[in-house]
Amino acid sequence: MSDVVNGRLEGRIALVTGASRGIGRAVAKRYAQEGAQLLLMARTVGALEEIDDEIRSEGGKNPILIPHDLKNMDGLDQLGASLYDRYGKLDILVGNAGSLGPLSPIGHIKPKIWQETFDINVTANYRLIRSLDPLLKKSDAGRAIFVTTGSTAKAYWSLYKASKAALNTLVQSYACEIEKTNVKANLISPGPIRTTMREKAFPGEDPMKLRAPEEITDTFVDLASADCALNGQYIDLRQN
């Protein structure tokens, strides 16, 4: 894969969740460079305005900012109708937003926190698929990409791993359902990346030894492109 920016997403409408920092921010900026019309979703207005300024200053199309907390499920249901009224379709969905949750013994995890983490990592993505699937099917080449991780069991990681395992099954089931349509759905497991979530999970780690989010955006462009033929794939970007 090449890191050459060549307008592969010119004119495509792309919604990115968790777009204000980390991988979502890097993907959003790369998509802008590739010519996409961006719809950027994140909780914090100020952070969205910062990336908006960066994209505009670099000559990208003016993004549409969507301040939204993924725990507001009704808002996700309304999103599809709103986008349909404005654009009539959606070409690309990047479900990037996620929650690490506490790294602790299972018995120490409070039920409310368990539910909130599953709401963000799994249920919100289900609601996005439910709301936006009709719009993706209106595209000549709808593409859905979800950020995940490996589901191998690991002590103290039960909540995050279980929620991502559920996400993997959800997305791959969706991929089976859309097999005969113009829509493709795939999963990306980035591996160790220099993000706030990674720092929270491994506070003693030297972040400068990790790849920056910008270094993995090629794969997001490949999977978002109209010529991508992959569907239902789990793509592991961990370095060997």
Q: In DSSP terms, which residues pair with 13 in a beta bridge?
A: 37
Q: Of 126, 160, 174, 234, which is the active-site residue?
A: 160
Q: In DSSP terms, which residues pair with 38 in a beta bridge?
A: 14
Is 156 a residue of the active site?
Answer: no
Structure tokens at 203: 């506070």
For residues 99, 82, 129 and 120, what is the CA-based torsion angle, rounded to 10 degrees? 10
Distance (Å, whole) CA 126 – CA 99: 15
Residue 18 gets the label, from left (phi > 0), alpha (psi -120 to 50) or beta, of left
Distance (Å, whole) CA 128 – CA 75: 10
Q: In DSSP terms, which residues pair with 215 in a beta bridge?
A: none
Which one, of 232, 238, 236, 211, lies nearest residue 3 by Cα? 211
Distance (Å, whole) CA 119 – CA 11: 32
Which residues are designated catalytic? 160
